[in-house]
Amino acid sequence: MTETAKIAPGKAAQKASRGKARLVIKAGSAGRAKVKTFQFGTAKLTVSVAAQGDWAHNVDLGQSALKKIKSRLVKPGVKLRGMKSAPLFHADPSNPRQLIRELNGKRERGVFENGVFKVTA
């Protein structure tokens, strides 16, 4: 038998309520389960060791999640979608000292001087 732990009100609870993750505690296992203690600086955390069946279940979940995103992970590069009136800057391949600014369909070469983009000829 399992129970879902209640989270105290606050920002953490609001974030947790948006997602699907839940903290599951096995009822009646606290006294019989093996425990492991971890220390991070002055904080000490004691947790029960997961059963073999729990490990297998989590591995299955991880593998199925990986299958869903595998095609996206193997494609190199990042796609940036520009927003209207928001400039996109990238390095000029012919001159590494200049940048190319793309703004509303217009491409201009230039440099930043005192925090302002200055178009060069």
pTM for the whole structure: 0.37
CA-closest candidate to residue 87, choices 105, 73, 69, 71: 105
**Tens-of-pLDDT digits for all 121 residues of the chain?**
444 444 444 444 444 445 454 444 454 445 566 888 888 888 888 888 878 788 888 888 889 999 998 888 888 887 777 788 899 899 999 998 999 999 988 999 999 999 999 999 7
Is residue 53 domain-resident?
yes
Is residue 44 domain-resident?
yes
Is residue 79 domain-resident?
no
Split into its structural domains, the chain has a count of 2
Sign of CA dihedral 28, 44, 35, 26: positive
Q: Are residues 62 and 97 in the same domain?
A: no
Identity (one letter) of the amino acid at 74?
V
- Per-residue confidence (pLDDT) for residue 99, from 0 to 100: 95
92: burial class by Cβ within 10 Å (0-12, 13-18, 19+)? Answer: middle
Q: Are residues 13 and 67 in the same domain?
A: yes
One-character DSSP codes across 110-121: EEEETTEEEE--
Range of the domain at 105: 88-119
Q: Are residues 53 and 25 in the same domain?
A: yes
Q: Are residues 98 and 56 in the same domain?
A: no
User: What confidence tens digit (pLDDT) does each residue in 12-35 have?
Assistant: 444 444 545 444 445 444 556 688
**Rounded CA separation 113/98 (Å):** 11
Is residue 78 domain-resident?
no
Q: Cβ contacts of residue 105 below 8 Å, gap of 6+?
A: none
